[in-house]
Amino acid sequence: MMSSLRRIVIMAEMHGRDLTRRHAAIALLVALPLSFYFASMGSGATAVLAGGVGMSFSVSGATLFSILSSSEVDQRLVLGGYSPLELLLGRLLFLGPFGLMIAVSFSVLMALISHPARPLVLGLGVAVVALQSVPFGLAVGAALPRELEGTLVLIGVIGLQLSANPKSFIARILPFHSPRQIIASSLDAQGAIAAPLLQTAIYGLALLVVARVFVARRVDVRRHQSIS
Amino acid sequence: MVDLLVVSQVAKRFGRTTILEDVDLAVAAGEVVALTGENGAGKSTLMQICAGLIRAESGDVRVGGRIGYCPQSPGLFELLTADDHLVMFGCGAGISRADSLSRGHEVLAEFGFPMDDRAVTRDLSGGTRQKLNLALALLTDPSILLLDEPYQGFDRGTYVNFWDHCERWRNEGKAVVVVTHMLAELERVDRVIELPAHPSRSRHGSGR
């Protein structure tokens, strides 16, 4: 148990080192939701929704890249003693708090500029977007292990989430529908929070299971029978 | 000497192309085997099957200890340093951070890795990256070494040094399989196994 925990922490540390050395990528990660937000400033509440949900581009993009950029190494790490689950949890351990950090700063900025009715709920909604983005990026990266396909799915899903009517069926089945509801409820002080939170948690867990299944298939190492 | 790697009747196909058919191979402790063959003969595929990275359609692989696998192209994290890699790979095998660094530095120094260089692997030359790749395979002191053209990009001195190391690993009782096209060095190994090119491959891969 302790050694497994140590492996997860080391993986988180190494992904942290890798990502924090990508200065241009980090600048873009921060700039992307900001640009969504500021570009929609004239449209009232839409700006907060676009910025909040648009943050998923940043975090899930970083997650997708982290899983795809290490595809050659992952199987060798499993051969060396890691389990596929430890590789996933290591990424989750770094990218979750990393996404939350961006979410908190971004929420503070939006709260100061847009004055939502419930600023704390706005922070919660954006944080939930950030957290949901990690399993989403992991699932896409694990299921589609090529950069182009993965990126296109990411753009497609989040683009649809931003543009589709929130009451439509397609919007409801997408992964950021419930976080979007929380952000929306921060603007007009209406709407439930607990139900969307629970739905997001269930959706996030399902995405993690998908990621786990595909990663295990991709990096599986056959343990040979021992010569007795 | 006792066998540390035994491959029995291994077959592998990719689509309709048969890459390996009924390959047998046994490598004993203290033996260095060179695996040769034309491009596409299945040398790397056989190494990957032995390492457990891909599954054979049929046949069986049995091992007598920990495997150290050095792939042909060094799959490394581009923005991590050599030390980062040593710590990460060492941790997988339950080796502490300090021990991983100490053992890793020892191996890297033997192959002339620029130890004062704290560069990330993206900024290293191909040969230097390959030295790190080899060091990662050796980090846990495995008893079976599967080395797939591990000297790619090595300068002349390091290349000669590599074959000297093969002799040392033999003396330490390791079972070593080296995929190589360097026929000049085949006199330094105990056995040469040539995999025939498909589709004519049948029972030629037999080791003994």
Residues B131-167: tens digit of each pLDDT: 999 999 999 999 999 999 988 888 887 877 888 999 9
Indicate yes or no: CB of B62 within 8 angstroms of CB of A22: no
Amino acid identity for residue A219 in this structure? V
Backbone phi, psi, residue B26, to 5°: -135, 130
Instruction: Tell me what the pLDDT averaged over chain A comes to.
Output: 92
User: What residues 105-144 of chain B have any CB closer than 8 A to a CB of chain A?
Assistant: 120, 136, 140
From the list B63, B84, B89, which residue is nearest A80 (CB)?
Answer: B89
* Overall size of chain A counted in residues: 228
pLDDT at A220: 87
> What is the spatial distance between Cα A105 and Cα A164, in angstroms, rounded to a whole number?
27
What confidence tier does B207 reach under pLDDT thresholds 50, 70, 90?
very low
Partners of residue B79 in chain A, C-beta under 8 Å: 17-18, 21-22
What confidence tier does A25 reach under pLDDT thresholds 50, 70, 90?
confident
Residues B63-122: tens digit of each pLDDT: 999 999 999 887 899 999 999 999 999 999 999 999 999 999 999 998 888 877 689 999
Q: Is the predicted ipTM greater than 0.95, yes or no?
A: no
Partners of residue B62 in chain A, C-beta under 8 Å: 224-227
> Between the CA atoms of A40, A43, A47 and A49, what dihedral angle is there, to the nearest 10 degrees?
-130
Q: For residue A183, is pLDDT > 90?
A: yes
Residues A52-88: tens digit of each pLDDT: 999 999 999 999 988 888 877 999 999 999 999 999 9
Query: In whole angstroms, what separates CA B2 from the centre of its chain?
Result: 20
Contact status, residue A166 vs residue A92, Cβ threshold 8 Å: no
Partners of residue B140 in chain A, C-beta under 8 Å: 80
